[in-house]
Copies of this chain bind each other. A is one copy, B any other.
Amino acid sequence: MTQKLPFEALSVETLPSRLGDNEALRAKIGKDTSAWKVREVGDGNLNLVFIVEGASGAAVVKQALPYVRLVGDSWPLPLKRSFFEYHALTRQEERAPGSVPTIYHFDEAQALIIMEYLSPHIILRRALIEGRQLPNIARDIGLFMARTLFRGSDLHMAARDRKADLALFADNVELCDITENLVFSDPYFDARMNRHTSPQLDGIVAELRADRDLKVEAQRLKHSFAANAETLLHGDLHSGSIMVTERETRMIDPEFAFYGPMAFDVGMLLANFWMSFFSQRGHEQSGKRDAMRAYLLEVTVETWVVFRAEFSHLWRTERTGMLYQKSLFEDQGDRLGAEQALDHVLHQIWTDLLGFAGIEVHRRILGLAHNADFETIADEDLRASCEAKALKFGRHLAVNRRQIHSIDEVSTLAALIEQESSI
């Protein structure tokens, strides 16, 4: 099935003729290509995304470009990220069934994935900006993270399989490089591609860049990100990588997938809820957002509670890998030994996720890739005020992460910072 032609970017016009003989796509949406309707809807930073509708259905065609779409061809980026996305999606579907779009076809040479068109799903970030309270996201995302992170690690997998997979994903160098630089380093010095709401944030930006403790923590977290190949991460699990309906939640876009620390996915995800929390004041022209803020804190609490519960459940029932073997604990009648080890592992994830969350907040306000939660606040003074609070919150998390014991404390901290005009 794989086309051997050299890579060529699709367009709305060429897609029907280029993919008209693709059996998977024809079977899904109908064989009459003259009836196909194609729209390009990519709103991310990197790729082309088409929705193709035919007589009997619809599908998404996602194609990588040989450069960063947000920046242009001055920043080349390998097509192989499509290969990593495809392999990540198949592993996620296996480990957390029903959590990602169904794949119909993958073409490595053309760097394209044909997959399920999720409808009427919208991007979670958009829903949160609109002030929609979705009842299932905490549970769905908490389960997704626990299942993919646990089942992709030496807690569950055969060591040989994990090492082979680690070698496969080690080649995802350029996308790791984006995270390594844009997330962990650039925000903390005058890097070329940085931007922030200016001049309103100039003072706090200078303060953060002079903050030795913060910078050391950010680099220690980068050290862990780069070295601690614990499990296959989604790698970019923010609210723009999640599609929702009132009842359903699907994780998309795992092209940043690689082997890293479990806490990274969890921390990035929670950071995006906390940023949504601090951005709500900027969206109050359409009505007060007190209930939405309360909802968002509840979501962070429930996500972590569900994650912990499911991770613990898997620890007790699927701990079949080489780490913390039952032969050392349960098989010796020492169930409590296994629980003690679980506490240690969860404690490490907790401590690290707070750090990753703090850094993620910073880079979304100080670095290259901002997010719509803040960007859509047109009033720059209002936006800067929301952003400044988030920056202070992020700094507190990153530097004090070993002294924060519970998610409730983080909720209290967020509420305190939100209420105080100067803190």
| Residue ranges of A at the interface with B (Cβ–Cβ < 8 Å) | 153-154, 159-160, 163-164, 166-168, 170-171, 173, 176-177, 180-181, 185, 188-189, 191, 209-210, 212-213, 215-216, 218-220, 222-223, 226-230, 322-325, 327-329, 331-332, 334, 336-337, 340-341, 344-345
Contacts and interface: CB of A to CB of B under 8 A. Distances in A.
Contacts of A334: 210, 212, 215
Contact of A228 (B227, B327, B341): B227
Contacts of A173: 159-160, 163-164
Closest 7 CB pairs of A and B: A167-B170, A167-B167, A227-B230, A212-B337, A219-B324, A163-B170, A216-B341
A331 to B, nearest CB: 7
Given A185-B327, A323-B222, A216 B171 contact: no
A209 B333 CA distance: 12
Given A154-B223, A228-B228, A189 B159 contact: no
Nearest to A180: B322
Contacts of A180: 159, 322
A44 to B, nearest CB: 24
19 contacts: A153-B227, A159-B177, A159-B180, A160-B177, A163-B171, A164-B171, A164-B173, A166-B166, A166-B229, A170-B170, A180-B322, A185-B328, A209-B332, A212-B334, A215-B337, A218-B328, A219-B324, A219-B341, A223-B324
Given A173-B160, A219-B341, A341-B216, A327 B166 contact: no
A193 to B, nearest CB: 14
From A168, A188, A215, A222, name the one whose CB has the most chain B CB atoms within 10 angstroms: A215
Contact of A216 (B177, B223, B344): B344
From A167, A180, A219, name the one whose CB has the most chain B CB atoms within 10 angstroms: A219
Given A209-B332, A222-B323, A226-B323, 7 more contacts: A163-B170, A166-B229, A188-B328, A189-B328, A219-B325, A220-B344, A228-B229
B167 A331 contact: no
Main secondary structure of the interface of A (DSSP, over half): helix
Given A209-B332, A334-B212, A163 B185 contact: no
Contacts of A337: 212, 215-216
A210 B230 CA distance: 28
A332 B372 CA distance: 31
What's the number of copies of this chain in the assembled complex?
2
A159 B171 contact: no
Contacts of A331: 189
Nearest to A326: B189
B227 A328 contact: no
A143 B260 CA distance: 30
Nearest to A224: B228
B229 A189 contact: no
B159 A328 contact: no
Contacts of A164: 170-171, 173
A189 B332 contact: yes
Nearest to A332: B189
Contacts of A159: 173, 176-177, 180, 226
A228 B229 CA distance: 6
Nearest to A153: B227
A181 B215 CA distance: 38
Contacts of A230: 227
Nearest to A174: B160
B170 A166 contact: yes
B189 A163 contact: no
A334 B230 CA distance: 32
From A215, A227, A322, name the one whose CB has the most chain B CB atoms within 10 angstroms: A227
